[in-house]
């Protein structure tokens, strides 16, 4: 249904451009795939500027309540196990008008509640359910936090099909505790926290673990990206890299969480932006020049500059998270302290102005585009002719009022 609705939206001209992407692999240790998508850089809505990982929802800035009806593909809810406790909750799947690939969509949980871009239980549950419902190994659900290349402060996830496997799913992990796994550099290009759904009976535990992790990172003011994929059972022994080419092993829903450095402001796209998809090794080039010249070395340098946290910080984070998951440390609940709504800065006011439609004043002249209009209006009366006269003065003279 997702693809049929997406194709229907395409036929109705909802998208900003027609997809015509090129792909290639970058030789090296990580088997990065890279896509050329010039139109997305030129025609997508400008990313917004943010100052913190937790910012209050601002109804004046662009958000998903402003979507056009034809951009919404469908509404959904879970009947036998609701995604939230509100029976009136409406969750939507909308097109991404500037798509990365066929089927690129936006999942907006509880749209009318206007929740800021901080993962909550409803969003994680929806992500897990979508991964289970879409029987396609190329399907992924993605989340970018504020300061982690999220472009809108209204809770949403990306859903898309990427034609090539991320090599991340083939990497050896390190088991920290019962459910907590990590992948350190240099096994992968950046540090990763990993949770895997191994059984249908464990879905609630899987959701709780993912939620606990992102809440912990949010409270710690650590920006993060989340990449949901299907992967072979996590392994902790053997080679650093091992691919199940014959697909003899089960492909299990897996959440890869990337703690990362914060990106302040709206950074102009020059080469690529290391968000969830890119940190999983699926890159998008926004210029033909970069697409042609890109190497694994240049991609790694961009990730190091814009995303990678230090080894010591990662060790500290997963150690504290392990204490929380194992009950040795209380869970820190997030977001009673979401930053209060701040006054908009000058660039943000300009962004707000650009987000409104510009209306043309109604004027007779606009209907005469091909010929000079000829309006015959009577000349205005002389001011002196119509001016009232002042009462006579003592000297008997009168003057115009």
Q: Residues with Cβ < 8 Å from 220, sequence gap 6 or more?
A: 317
**Amino acid 332: pLDDT:** 72
Short-list 122, 116, 120, CA closest to 155 = 116
Q: How far apart are CA 50 and CA 377, in angstroms?
A: 55
55 located within any domain: yes
Q: What are phi and psi of 122, to 5 degrees?
A: -60, -45
Exposure b/e, 163-184, CB count within 10 A at least 16 = b? ebbbbbbbbbbeebeebbbbbe
Environment class of residue 52 by beta-carbon count within 10 Å: exposed (0-12), middle (13-18) or buried (19+)? middle
**Amino acid 6: pLDDT:** 97
401 located within any domain: no
**Amino acid 89: pLDDT:** 79
Residue-number span of the structural domain to which 280 is assigned: 2-355
> The CATH number of the domain where 74 resides is what?
3.30.428.70
| Inter-residue contact 147 to 165 (CB < 8 Å) | no
CA dihedral sign of residues 133, 156, 11, 24: negative
Report, as residue numbers or ranges, the catalytic residues: 156
366 located within any domain: no
369 located within any domain: no
* Range list of H helices, 98-202: 121-133
Per-residue pLDDT tens, the chain, 401 aa: give them. 899 999 999 999 999 999 999 999 999 999 999 999 999 988 877 778 899 999 999 999 999 999 999 999 999 987 766 666 666 678 999 999 999 999 999 999 999 999 999 999 999 999 999 999 999 999 999 999 999 999 999 999 999 999 999 999 999 999 999 999 999 999 999 999 999 999 999 999 999 999 999 999 999 999 999 999 999 999 999 999 999 998 899 999 999 999 999 998 655 566 889 999 999 999 999 999 999 999 999 999 999 999 999 999 999 999 999 999 999 998 776 544 565 555 555 455 555 444 443 333 333 333 334 444 444 445 555 544 444 444 444 444 444 44
388 located within any domain: no
251 located within any domain: yes
350 located within any domain: yes
215 located within any domain: yes
Domain count, the chain: 1
């Amino acid at each position: 249904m997702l693809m049929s609705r997406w194709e229907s939206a395409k036929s109705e001209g909802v998208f900003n451009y027609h997809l015509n992407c090129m792909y290639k692999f970058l030789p090296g240790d990580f088997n990065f795939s890279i896509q050329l998508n010039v139109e997305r850089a030129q025609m997508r809505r400008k990313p917004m500027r943010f100052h913190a990982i937790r910012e209050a929802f601002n109804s004046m800035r662009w958000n998903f309540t402003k979507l056009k009806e034809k951009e919404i593909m469908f509404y959904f809810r879970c009947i036998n196990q609701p995604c939230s406790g509100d029976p009136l909750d409406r969750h939507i799947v909308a097109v991404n008008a500037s798509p990365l690939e066929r089927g690129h969509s936006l999942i907006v949980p509880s749209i009318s509640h206007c929740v800021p871009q901080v993962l909550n239980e409803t969003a994680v549950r929806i992500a897990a359910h979508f991964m289970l419902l879409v029987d396609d190994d190329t399907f992924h659900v993605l989340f970018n936090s504020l300061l982690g290349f999220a472009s809108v402060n209204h809770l949403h996830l990306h859903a898309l099909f990427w034609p090539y496997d991320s090599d991340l799913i083939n990497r050896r992990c390190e088991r920290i505790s019962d459910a907590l796994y990590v992948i350190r550099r240099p096994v992968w290009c950046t540090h990763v926290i990993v949770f895997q759904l191994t059984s249908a009976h464990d879905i609630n535990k899987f959701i709780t673990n993912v939620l606990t992790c992102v809440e912990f990172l949010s409270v710690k003011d650590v920006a993060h990206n989340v990449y949901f994929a299907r992967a072979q059972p996590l392994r902790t022994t053997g080679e650093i890299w091992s691919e199940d080419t014959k697909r003899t092993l089960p492909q299990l829903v897996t959440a890869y969480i990337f703690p990362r450095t914060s990106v302040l402001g709206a950074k102009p796209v020059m080469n690529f932006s290391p968000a969830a998809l890119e940190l999983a090794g699926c890159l998008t080039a926004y210029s033909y020049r970069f697409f042609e010249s890109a190497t694994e070395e240049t991609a790694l340098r961009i990730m190091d500059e814009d995303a990678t946290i230090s080894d010591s910080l990662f060790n500290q984070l997963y150690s504290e998270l392990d204490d929380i998951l194992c009950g040795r440390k209380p869970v820190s609940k997030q977001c009673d302290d979401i930053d209060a709504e701040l006054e908009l800065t000058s660039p943000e006011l300009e962004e707000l102005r650009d987000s409104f439609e510009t209306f043309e004043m109604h004027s007779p002249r606009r209907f005469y585009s091909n010929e000079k209009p000829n309006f015959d209006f009577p000349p205005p009366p002389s001011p002196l002719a119509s001016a009232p006269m002042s009462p006579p003065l003592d000297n008997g003279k009168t003057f115009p009022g």
